[in-house]
Amino acid sequence: MTSQAHDQPAVVATALPAPHSSMPSIGSLVRRPEVGSLIGMIAVLVFFSIFGGANFMSAGGAASWLNVASELGIIALPVGLLMIAGHLDLSVGSMIPASSMTIAIISGHYDQPIIVGILAALGLGLAVGFINGVLVIRTKVPSFVVTLATLFALAGLTLGLSIILSGSTSVALKSGPIAKLVLGDYLGGKFQVTLFWWIAIVLIVGFILNFSRFGNWILAMGGDAVSARNAGIPTDRVTIALFMSSGLCAAFVGMSQAILYNSAQVAAGQSFIFNSIIAVVIGGVLLTGGYGSVVGIVLGTLTFSIVNQGIFYTGFDANWASLIIGVLLLAAVLMNNTFRTMALTYAPRTKSRVR
C-alpha cells in the first residue's frame, strides 16, 4: 500500500479589523468638538460648587448664571455658526443697544404699539446683518474688518439719532402684559423667559447644523470656501443668511432687555462682543473655521457664565474674574487642540485571528 500525502492548509495569522461595535471608539469621542468644553464646564461647576457654598447651587444662584447664559447663548449660537463658516461678527456689540433704543423710542417715546417697535427692532437687525454680508462678499475684505467698521458706524448712528429723536441717551419703555410675559419677564421671580427662547434657538440651530444641507454647506465653507463654491454651494447666499441671523439674534436680545428693564440705554451691550467669541472658542469652535458643534457652543456659554457669576459666590476678590476668564480661555483652546491631535493620531487596534 502506498501512503498518500494530503496537503494540509497552512496556518496563517492575519490582522483583521475588530468586529463592529455599536459603542463609539475612543477616537470618535475625543475628536468631538465639545469634549474639551464638557470637561471644562464640569471642572468649573465642581470648583464653584465647593467654594461658592450652598448659595451657588440654590435656585437663585443657578438663575444668576443661567440668565447670563441665556442672553449670551442666543448671540453665541449664530456667531458660532459664522465662525464655523470662517467669518466673524463684531457688530453684535452695537446691535444690542441699537435695537433696544429702536423699540424704546418707537414704543416708549412716541407711544406706538409695542408690536411696531418689536418689528422695527428685529428688522433693523436683519438689515444690518444683510449689509454686513453684502459688504463681505462684494469687497472681499475680511469680515473682522467689515464688522468692526459697522460696529463703530452703528454705535455712532444709535447715539446721534437717539439724541435727535428723543433728546436723551436713555429712554423709558412700558410694554404691555403679553409682550412682558413672552419677551421680558422673570419666571418664579428668578429665571428670565429668555431661557426658553435660548432652548428653542439651540434646537433650531442644532437641527440646521447637524441634519440639514445648509449645515453641511456651513462646514464646507469653513473648511475651504473656494472648493465649496466650486462644488456648487451658494456661498454668497449662505454668508448673507448667517450674518442676518447674527444681527437678528443680537437685535432680539437688545429688544428683550429693553422690555425686561423697562428702559434702553445707548451704552449697553458692548461686553457681548468678546464674551460671545470667548464662549464659542471655549466650546471648541476653531477661529480658522470648519470645526465646531452646537453642543460645544452651549457648553462653552455655560462655562463662561458660571465663571462670570460664580466668582461672586466665593470669598475671592471679584476683581480677579477677568483674569480667571482669560486663563480659562487659553486653557480651553489648548485643551481643544490637544483632544483634536489625539483624535487625529488615534488608530483603533486590530485583532489577530487564526484561520
pLDDT tens string for the chain (355 positions)? 444 444 444 443 333 344 444 555 555 666 665 777 888 888 888 888 888 888 888 888 899 999 999 999 999 999 999 999 999 999 999 999 999 999 999 999 999 999 999 999 999 999 999 999 999 999 999 999 999 999 999 999 999 999 999 998 899 998 889 999 999 899 888 899 999 999 999 999 999 999 999 999 999 999 888 899 999 999 999 999 999 999 999 999 999 999 999 999 998 888 888 899 989 988 888 888 888 889 999 999 999 999 888 888 887 777 777 787 788 778 777 777 776 676 556 555 544 444 4
**Alpha carbons 280 and 77: distance in angstroms, whole number:** 8
> Which class would CATH give 10-15+30-344?
mainly alpha
Do 214 and 238 contact (CB within 8 A), yes or no?
Answer: yes
pLDDT at position 223: 83
**Alpha carbons 342 and 36: distance in angstroms, whole number:** 12
pLDDT at position 27: 56
Predicted TM-score (pTM) of the model is 0.85
Give the closest residue to 183 by CA, choosing from 63, 99, 58: 99
Do 285 and 296 contact (CB within 8 A), yes or no?
Answer: yes
Q: Which three cell numbers stand for residue 299?
A: 457648553
How far, in Å, are 111, 199, 264 from residue 205 at the CA level?
35, 10, 28
Looking at residue 167, the DSSP 8-state letter turns out to be: S
Q: What angle do CA 243, 80, 221 make, to 5 degrees?
A: 70
With 0-12 CB in 10 A as exposed, 13-18 as middle and 19+ as buried, what is 128? buried
Maximum C-alpha span of the chain: 121
User: Three-class SS of residue 292?
Assistant: coil
Q: What angle do CA 114, 115, 117 make, to 5 degrees?
A: 65
What number of other Cβ atoms are within 10 A of residue 23's Cβ?
A: 6
**Alpha carbons 283 and 301: distance in angstroms, whole number:** 7
- For 2-63, give the DSSP string: -----PPPP--EEEEPPPP-SSPPHHHHHTSTTHHHHHHHHHHHHHHHHHSHHHHHSHHHHH
* Residue in this structure with the C-alpha cell 475671592, named with its chain if needed: 316
Task: Please report, in angstroms and rounded to a whole number, the separation of the first and last CA atoms in the chain.
Answer: 33
**Alpha carbons 297 and 82: distance in angstroms, whole number:** 12
Give the closest residue to 41 by CA, choosing from 76, 80, 69: 69
Strand partners, 171: 264
